[in-house]
Amino acid sequence: MSESKKNILETKFKPLVSVIIVTYNSEKFLDKCIKNLLNDLNKNFIEVIIVDNFSEDQGYINDKKLIKGISVYKLNSNMGFSYANNFGYKKISKFSKYVLFLNPDAFVTKNLLKNLYSFMQKKDNEKIAACSPCLVSYSIDRDMPLATIDSTGISKSWYGKFFDKNQGKKFPFTENWSVNKKNLICGAFMFCRKSSLDENLRNSKVWDEKFFMYKEDIDLSLHLKKNGMDLAILNNYFAYHCRGWNKKRFDVSSFSIKNSLHGDWLILSKNYYPIYNQIVHFFYLSIKSIFIYFEILFKVKASKN
């Protein structure tokens, strides 16, 4: 295709929302994820950027680049979730007003993206940098929702533990609120205002690449709030989330456990909270680190037996 024809096609295609999906051995989920995006793709409302983080078999992604509006990029090594999202962010259309960072195991529902777009476009919501619907648990094996809540945003206990709010409660949600600006946003589904992200770049990047995996969504949420931006969880809309990584504790790899703990310490080092909270959080993480040290030792010993 000549450069002039390519430029003409790009001019005609003006997506309002760019969806960035980072994959890694995600063949179990990606077809369902893309299928739920097809209606918005067909109407040219969105574009989809798939960045594969060096899956063991990247063949499951090949057919996705044949779908109009989808671009596929394959990294030569697993660079981590933050790096891959930053890579995808550099590839989005210049016409996009919003960016959805979407996990491959998270699925949009009918008209959800247009509803989120309309919400963010309201003048009263100009300070909201990112929003998310209520996330509902979904079983990919049974291909059905589980009628329980996966997340209504991320909250923090008084001693510093981050957790998904209302996880495990019955859905439909019964609490009497439609917009919650207190909680942070789960990285499985972050619908962000592009101008807000551009105004709050760190070293020309949206995501801090010191976070390889885990806690990077908390860091980005806190960074935006620290700079005067609002976040919103919208209870009157929902999406599905399989949370495919959620295994029994003993089955979680030592690599994942260490990365999660590393993310906790990184967040503590950035002084997002008042000094009292920082001190309490430090002692909590110190104790947690000791337990994790012995947990990993036990795993290593058990693997050798």
pLDDT in tens, 152-162: 999 999 999 99
105 with 237, same domain: the answer is yes
- Residue-wise pLDDT tens digits, 206-264: 999 999 999 999 999 999 999 999 999 999 999 999 985 445 666 778 889 999 999 99
Return the exposure string of 202-228: e unless at least 16 CB atoms fall within 10 Å of the residue's CB, then b: eeebbbbbebbbbbbbbbbbbbbbeee
Nearest 5°: phi and psi at 241?
A: -140, 125
pTM over 0.95: no
170 with 266, same domain: the answer is no
In a domain, 268, yes or no: yes
In a domain, 194, yes or no: yes
129 with 231, same domain: the answer is yes
Contacts with 304 (C-beta within 8 Å, 6 or more apart), sequence order: none
Mean pLDDT calculated for residue range 115-129: 97
In a domain, 291, yes or no: yes
CATH number (domain holding residue 201): 3.90.550.10
In a domain, 3, yes or no: no
In a domain, 43, yes or no: yes
Contact assessment for residue 213 and residue 203, using Cβ atoms and an 8 Å cutoff:
no
Residue 172 has a pLDDT of 83
130 with 224, same domain: the answer is yes
In a domain, 20, yes or no: yes
In a domain, 22, yes or no: yes
Read off the tokens for 35. Answer: 């299928």
What are the beta bridge partners of residue 98?
17, 193
Given a cut of 70, is residue 27 above it in pLDDT?
A: yes
End-of-domain residue from the set 197, 223, 244: 244
222 with 274, same domain: the answer is no
Distances (CA, A) of 82 to 50, 86, 152, 215: 14, 6, 22, 10
End-of-domain residue from the set 204, 227, 244: 244
Q: How far apart are CA 24 and CA 189, in angstroms?
A: 17
How many domains does the chain divide into?
Answer: 2
Residue 8 has a pLDDT of 45
Q: How many CB atoms lie within 10 A of CB 300?
A: 10
| Residue found by looking up tokens 């599905």 in the block | 240
166 with 256, same domain: the answer is no
257 with 237, same domain: the answer is no
End-of-domain residue from the set 221, 244, 267: 244
| Residue found by looking up tokens 């703990």 in the block | 261
In a domain, 4, yes or no: no
How far separated are the first and last CA of the chain, in Å rounded? 59
Given a cut of 60, is residue 143 above it in pLDDT?
A: yes
Q: 257 lies in which domain range?
A: 250-304
85 with 128, same domain: the answer is yes
280 with 176, same domain: the answer is no
